Chains A and B, each alone.
Chain A
Amino acid sequence: MRKEFAHDELMMPGHLACQGCGGTIIMKHALRAVGPDAVCVIPACCWTIISGNFPYSALNVPVLHTAFATSGAAASGVRAGLDMQGKHDTKVLAFAGDGGTFDIGIQSLSGAAERNEDIIYICYDNEAYMNTGVQRSSATPERAWTTTTPVTHPKSGAKKNMIQILAGHKVPYCATANIAFPDDLYRKVRNAAEIKGTCFIHVLSPCPSGWKIPSEKAIEVSRLATHSKVFPIYEVYHGEEYKITMEPDEIPVSDYLKSQGRFRHLKEEDMDFIQERVDYEWKILLQRSMMEPFHMNF
């Protein structure tokens, strides 16, 4: 099947990503959807490396590399600078990892979202600090192994729900996406590019070295995440209108967990616990998707 994209390829060969890196696939689709009239903001994350070292760049859009905590603020500053030059159509794309979004960058993201800055913020979530060697973040799934949550005391507590946090800011558009469903991912970024205001897209980003999976399995494992309902794919408009955009196949979470070395230590009861939580979260999502949204008339 030949897919028509709105724009040419803007990610060039010669980038420095590992094989099977989800973050690279996300960037490729995102830039095709956003197009060349864009400025990309990248905080400290894997993409600091992937984009290439001075004087090279793997991206055919201007890139502002910025400090770890500052994606939301830096994107706001780019927006303001472009607007003051009348460049209202130029898109601002912040592209940050889970550490830069869920943890150290949450304050500046919250500030930008509260001001409803006209930016697209994509979080490529590989569920730990992968660039520094797989340390846990608040995006790390419950009971997963990382180098700072060894199997003797794996990650405690649930993964932070960033979409809920962004929905709580009443931004015009939030969505989750998955590289196993590139049409859906592409459509969501296009959608974000058309919407004025803060758009937040949370994309699951498999990391073969951190998740302990073979690099050729990255997309397959990602697909299992959505079909097991561990990572449901949906949209939230104005923080209220929920739309599930991918019907899961209802496979057991153990299929997803057993596909990865970072969950190898889990016992049956751990998997049962995770299954219960996943089922519970899914029920909440279903209920929200059936609720009548509170429409704002201005």
Chain B
Amino acid sequence: MKKVLMGNHAASWGVQLSRVKMISAYPITPQTHIVEELSEMCGDGSLDARFLKVESEHSAMASVIASQATGVRSFTASSSNGLALMHELLHWAAGARLPIVMVNVNRALAPGWNIWADQGDSLSQRDTGWIQIYVEDNQEVLDSVIQGYRIAESVDLPVMICYDAFFLSHTYEPVDIPSYDEVDAWLPPYTPTNHLDPEKPKSFYPLVMPDNYMEIKYKFQQAHEQAIGVIDEVGQSFGTSFDRYYGVVEAVQCEDADIILVTSGTITSPARLVLEEMRQKGEKVGLLKMRTFRPFPVKAVQQALNGAKKAIVVDRNCSWGKGGIFADEIKSAMSNTTDAPMIYSYIAGLGGRSITPDDIRGLIEEAIESDSPSSESVWKGLKL
């Protein structure tokens, strides 16, 4: 069934089709349509789930941790300051190895108050132990929520699906909605490894002494390393069933490229246009879409970028005092490799400022002219 959906409603459909049993959320712009639509779905019975309308994001995450621990598929959604308020519980959910899926609509953090697109909210949660997937369009929003549960439940790690405020959350696009039967055939019901069960009383997440702590954390890290392969497998398997293929990254014409654009989120779409145009002109340009940020797909990045002369990373985010976060991680991934490209780091589009095909064209032209990149991230489109 094809429908014209805003990104937020695509997320709600993904939740419904995944047969989520518990939803707990607190409203924040620009996430609200997700929870409004889910309230409707719970209200009219099209989704058989309990919806807790809690009094904060902190409580939203605490309650989905608890419901997931009883053994039911659980979901929440947030954005910006709401996600920041969840921070403590993000650590808890991941450390507890609970396969929760959440949506984060990427929005700038205050101050100044700004409700528009910026990845600083989710990227500043990078060390919480959540898998983070950044999506490009509304179809991918829906598909990634469903894949999110399969990934999460394969490795017992929570998954955060991230997409840009307004550019996706409030923008309508045609979305192919699979049927319940199709999704049921692909996503089996959740069977927890452990759950809170009075028949088998166990203590969940108790005090752990130094004698055991490191081993538990080592297994946590191993699960992340395993997740890289799982995200690829799940994306391939999804493609086999639904004819839309996904992976940890998407490398477009990188094999023979001299210059590779590295993007995430909605910046990828204008980059595709520019790529096509440049290729027609005979410029050997490629595109690497970073779909996964955690776990960081080091090998996939090396494979895509090695051999190119220059890589241009566009970041709609900044680690204050350091620079573009994707660029920084990519530099780290490319260290100790031979044949690595020079890496150009650009910061653009913060707080919802548009990044147009012209802007991207400009970056490529600048890189072609340049002999070596600046050691700091370069801010584009500043009006100083």
B65 x A77 contact (CB < 8 A): yes
Q: Mark A88-126, 1 if CB is under 8 A from B, else 0.
A: 001000000000000000011011001100000000000
Interface size range of chain B in the complex: 35 or more
Which of A37, A39, A55, A108 lies in contact with B59, CB distance below 8 A?
A: A108
A116 vs B119: C-alpha distance in the bound complex, in angstroms? 37
Q: Mark B48-88, 1 if CB is under 8 A from A, else 0.
A: 01101111101110111111111110100000000000001
Interface size range of chain A in the complex: 35 or more
A150 vs B24: C-alpha distance in the bound complex, in angstroms? 43
B203 x A74 contact (CB < 8 A): no
Is A36 interfacial (CB 8 A cutoff)?
Answer: yes
A124 smallest CB distance to B (angstroms) = 18
A51 vs B50: C-alpha distance in the bound complex, in angstroms? 31
B67 x A70 contact (CB < 8 A): no
A90 x B88 contact (CB < 8 A): no
A107 vs B165: C-alpha distance in the bound complex, in angstroms? 29
A52 vs B89: C-alpha distance in the bound complex, in angstroms? 22
A101 smallest CB distance to B (angstroms) = 15
Is A38 interfacial (CB 8 A cutoff)?
Answer: yes
Q: Mark A66-90, 1 if CB is under 8 A from B, else 0.
A: 1101101111111011111100001
Is A159 interfacial (CB 8 A cutoff)?
Answer: no
Residues of B within 8 A of A82 (CB): 70
Knowing A48-B207, A90-B198, say if A81 contacts B21 (CB, 8 Å): yes
Is A65 interfacial (CB 8 A cutoff)?
Answer: yes
Residue of A nearest to B21 (CB): A84
Knowing A52-B203, A53-B206, A53-B209, say if A76 contacts B66 (CB, 8 Å): yes
Residues of B within 8 A of A57 (CB): 201-203, 206
B208 x A62 contact (CB < 8 A): no
Known: A67-B92, A77-B74, A110-B55. 5 other contacts (CB 8 A): A65-B204, A69-B58, A73-B59, A74-B63, A76-B66
B: which residues have CB within 8 A of A?
Answer: 21-22, 24, 49-50, 52-56, 58-60, 62-72, 74, 88-89, 92, 196-198, 200-209, 212
User: Could you give 21 example pairs across A and B, Cβ below 8 Å?
Assistant: A36-B198, A38-B198, A54-B208, A54-B209, A62-B198, A66-B62, A72-B59, A75-B66, A76-B52, A76-B54, A77-B66, A77-B69, A78-B69, A80-B24, A80-B63, A81-B67, A81-B70, A81-B196, A85-B71, A108-B55, A111-B54
